[in-house]
């Protein structure tokens, strides 16, 4: 009798109590694993109760294919009659909190920056292209404050009107002159404007 045969015959000769314990342990382990895979809720925030392991992902993908993601997000708030809802869009991850109240959103963005930070999803999208820009950093990053100071005044009305507007006007004028030159050249050669270089 080989060691492999003796191991399998030992399993077959176990008494019914041992088999019951093994089966119960296996069943409890499977149930525990299934419960761990279900989405984790933020208490007190409404959500779709008819979701499974994949959360709201199937409904979100249907909305994405039809090109109606924003209406789907807005429908969450209407469905639950709440300005704050949660959606489970990434399996085995924390839910996305959807805030559809303008005043609350503005308050979070403008005044409560210490409580709320950028989402890791945004940072993961921007960091391959602009790793040293503040848009790809958490606000707790030591480089964040210095980088933000560099671009702080770029969108101020004074900067836009004195620095950017003249340059934009100049470049647009050059572009118009180029098209006029191309149109004149196409009249002489009877070649469409799009095909001249």
pLDDT per residue as tens digits for the range 15-60: 778 878 888 999 999 888 877 777 778 888 898 887 777 788 888 8
Residue 87: phi and psi, rounded to 5, are -130, 140
What is the spatial distance between Cα 36 and Cα 106, in angstroms, rounded to a whole number? 35
Helix (H, G, I), strand (E, B) or coil at 61: helix
Q: What is the pLDDT of residues 89-113, one digit of tens each?
A: 877 778 888 888 889 888 887 888 7
User: What pLDDT is stored for residue 8 in this prediction?
Assistant: 58
Q: What is the pLDDT of residues 156-166, one digit of tens each?
A: 888 888 888 99
What is the spatial distance between Cα 62 and Cα 69, in angstroms, rounded to a whole number? 9
Are the C-beta atoms of residues 47 and 84 closer than 8 Å to each other?
Answer: no
Q: What is the pLDDT of residues 61-97, one digit of tens each?
A: 888 888 888 888 888 889 899 989 998 887 777 888 8
How far the first Cα of the chain sits from its last, in Å, is 87
User: What pLDDT is stored for residue 10 in this prediction?
Assistant: 60
Q: Counting Cβ atoms within 10 Å, is residue 153 exposed (0-12), middle (13-18) or buried (19+)?
A: exposed
Helix (H, G, I), strand (E, B) or coil at 71: helix
For range 137-143, the mean pLDDT: 85
Listed in order, strand segments (DSSP E) in the chain are: 84-87, 96-99
What is the spatial distance between Cα 77 and Cα 101, in angstroms, rounded to a whole number? 9
DSSP secondary structure letter of residue 47: -
User: What pLDDT is stored for residue 192 in this prediction?
Assistant: 63
Strands 84-87, 96-99: pairing is antiparallel
């Amino acid at each position: 009798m080989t060691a492999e045969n003796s191991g399998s015959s030992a399993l077959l000769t176990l008494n019914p109590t041992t088999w019951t314990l093994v089966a119960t342990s296996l069943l409890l382990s499977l149930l525990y694993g299934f419960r761990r895979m279900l989405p984790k809720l933020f208490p007190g925030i409404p959500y779709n109760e008819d979701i499974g392991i994949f959360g709201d992902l199937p409904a979100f993908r249907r909305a994405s294919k039809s090109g109606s993601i924003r209406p789907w997000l807005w429908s969450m708030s209407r469905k639950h009659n709440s300005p704050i809802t949660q959606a489970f869009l990434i399996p085995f991850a924390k839910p996305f909190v959807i805030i559809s109240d303008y005043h609350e959103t503005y308050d979070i963005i403008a005044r409560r920056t210490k409580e709320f930070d950028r989402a890791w999803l945004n940072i993961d999208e921007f960091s391959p292209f602009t790793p040293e820009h503040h848009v790809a950093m958490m606000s707790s990053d030591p480089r964040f404050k210095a980088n933000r100071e560099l671009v702080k005044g770029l969108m101020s009305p004074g900067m836009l009107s004195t620095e950017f507007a003249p340059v934009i006007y100049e470049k647009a004028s050059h572009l118009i002159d180029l098209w006029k030159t191309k149109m004149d050249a196409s009249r002489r050669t009877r070649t469409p404007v799009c095909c001249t270089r």
